[in-house]
Amino acid sequence: GMLGWCVCAARGSLTSGSRGRTSAACERARRVRMMCAPAQRALTSADVDNIRSASSKAEFSAALDALQTGDPRARRWASYPLNVRSVSLGELKMITKIDFDTLFSPKGLIKDLRTAFIAVLVGCTALSVLAAALLPPQAAYFSSYLIGAIVLVYIGIGSASPALLQSFVSGFSRQNSDYKLRLIRHEAAHLLVAYLIGMPIASFTLSAKNRNSALNAVELYESDLTQRAEIDKISVVSLAGAVGEAMVYEGAEGAQVDLDQLQNLLIRAKPPFKSKEIEAQTRWATLQAFTILRRYDKVLDALVNAMASGADMAECVSVIEATPQPDE
């Protein structure tokens, strides 16, 4: 058949013209194989129930490992091997096109607080002008002091407790649909990467309140921080959310939290990572997360839609396995 012909011809001595014809024939054969290959079977309701009932790291892994034998229905579980190597900052920026000078920094928060301060200042100024124009002189005099006190209170809270002010300012953005979609995509990226590299997932919840807690929405079972392979996996999963968010939106609101979580983990590792090693691990894990998410972009989009529709963790696994990914 065509496949056998291509293999034999590729091993022989070819002219330049026959090379082109062989290449085209091989490409046609590849497409025929893809079209004729048996479609991957979807997870059954019993499979989903088994995954849903898993209550430990071992049970979750066992439920999916069992679906990889015989008639495999969980082919993507733990299917992506990590490639550990040195990654420079220049290479990272060139490949990902992500601005890491602002991604893993508090500049986004500072911008939000500055914008909020300007809004408060302009609003209070407008109120003072209205008070002076509409109220009696004595009332306008006292109201100007009261309105001015709002600005002082804002500055005072920002100086004494910036986290409280951040929570207050973020509360407004959490009400819009764009924020919720960013949050869903952030957590979907965590979940997808964890699944593909073989990190058992305990559960996940979707709530805007989880934005300020590292990996609080997607919960993984405890990792062995004495095993380098485990540390590498959790490093990639930790940064996947920020990377997945930044691939679509300008920056990632949860990036600094993810980075802090990873740095604390690396410091607790045995032996603990040194400063330069943490930087190198962060660059590598970021590139790995980007590579995986770019490779499975259609699966990630489908997973975002499923999570937005209220799918639970076991149903998300089914979506990951069933969604076609071109050129996989």
pLDDT in tens, 146-168: 888 888 887 887 677 665 665 56
3-state SS, the chain, equals CHHHHHHHHHHCCCCHHHHHHHHHHHHHHHHHHHHHCCCCCCCCHHHHHHHHHCCCHHHHHHHHHHHHCCCCCCCCCCCCCCCCCCCCHHHHHHHHCCCHHHHCCCHHHHHHHHHHHHHHHHHHHHHHHHHHHHCCHHHHHHHHHHHHHHHHHHHHHHHHCHHHHHHHHHHHHCCCHHHHHHHHHHHHHHHHHHHHHCCCEEEECCCHHHHHCCCCCEEECCCCCCCHHHHHHHHHHHHHHHHHHHCCCCCCCCHHHHHHHHHHHHHHCCCCCCHHHHHHHHHHHHHHHHHHHHHCHHHHHHHHHHHHCCCCHHHHHHHHHHCCCCCC
| Structural domains of the chain, count | 2
Note whether residue 247 is domain-resident.
Answer: yes
Say yes or no: 114 and 194 in one domain. Answer: no
Whether residues 312 and 200 share a domain: the answer is: yes
Tell me what the mean pLDDT of segment 296-324 comes to.
94
Asked whether residue 255 is assigned to any structural domain, the reply reads: yes
> What is the mean pLDDT of the segment spanning 66-77?
89
Does any domain span residue 328?
Answer: no
- Tens-place pLDDT, residues 170-222: 555 555 557 788 889 999 999 999 999 999 998 887 765 544 443 447 888 88
Same domain, 119 and 250: no
Same domain, residue pair 141 and 191:
no
Average pLDDT, integer, range 64-80: 90
- 4-51 pLDDT per residue, tens: 323 222 323 333 344 344 445 444 444 433 333 444 567 999 999 999
Domain span including residue 145: 108-173
- The pLDDT, as a whole number, for residue 162 is 61
Does 279 map to a domain? yes
- Do 204 and 112 lie in one domain? The reply is no
Are 116 and 202 in the same domain?
Answer: no
Asked if 226 and 316 sit in the same domain, the reply is yes
Residues 188 and 287 in one domain: yes
